[in-house]
Structure 1
């Protein structure tokens, strides 16, 4: 998390790191724990294509992800969720803790996140959550496309 904090501070980002004693596994759990709208939760999914890995940051109320629409954005033939071991190799984090900030991974962002002043997602470390403005997620990542 040191790299994340360094980046946030160097870029003068308005953020908060919230430590919690229980792990949060789902958008619903996060919304209940923080007392926020489920759409303010922002899970980061890691996807694998034949060209490599990419991140998808979605709003917790997005619903089911249609991989076919992502194929067009990424100009790829095959796409699937990365396996837990692959996620750890690519991000250094376990599924459920993947950071909202991964500047070395091509990223697709759900425009639905921009409805909120702040969203909540992973820091790369279990039992800590990053509170950040969607525009700053966009600024800190290598954004290659948008959904919604």
Structure 2
């Protein structure tokens, strides 16, 4: 998490790291824990294509991922969620703890996150959450495409 904080400070990003004793496993658990709209949760999912891996940062209320739209967007034949071992291999982080920034992958970002001033997502550690603006997430990542 030191690298995350260093990067946030380097770019003068307004953020908050919220430590918690309980591991948060779902968007709904995060919304309940922080007392926020489920849409403010921002899970980072790792997608695998024949051209490599991508991070998908979505609003917690997105629902079911439409892989057909993502295939067209990326101009690939196959898109699927990466397996837990692949996620850890390509990012260095376990599923459920993937940080919103510093994962090193091209990003597909959900425009619906921009409904909120702040969203809540991973830090790389299971017992800490990053509160940050969606614009800053976009600024600190290599966003290659947007959904919704």
- Fold match (TM-score > 0.5): yes
Unpaired stretches in structure 2, ≥5 consecutive residues: none
Instruction: Give 1:115-134 correspondences, 5 Å limit.
Output: 115-134=115-134
CA distances 1:65-107 after superposition (whole Å, capped 9, x unpaired): 0001001111111110000001111111111110001362110
Match of 1:20 in 2: 20
List, as ranges, runs of 4+ consecutive aligned residues in structure 1 with deviation greater than 2 Å: none
Per the normalisation by structure 1, the TM-score is 0.98
Please state whether the residue corresponding to 2:65 is helix, strand or coil: coil
In structure 1, the residue matched to 2:102 is 102
- For 1:23 and 1:103, the matched residues in 2 are separated by 20
Write the deviation string for residues 39-82 of structure 1: whole angstroms up to 9, x where unpaired: 00000000000011000000000110000100111111111000
2:43 aligned residue: 43
- CA-based RMSD: 0.8
Q: Distance in 1 between matches of 2:74 and 2:102?
A: 17
Q: Which residue of 1 aligns with 2:145?
A: 145
**Could you tell me whether the CA contact under 8 Å between 2:91 and 2:103 is conserved in 1?**
no
8 Å CA contact 1:120–1:131 kept in 2: the answer is yes
How many residue pairs get aligned? The number is: 148
DSSP-derived class of the 2:36 partner: coil
Contact 2:43/2:58 (<8 A) preserved: yes
Q: Work out whether residues 45 and 57 of structure 2, in 8 Å CA contact, stay in contact via their aligned partners in 1.
A: yes
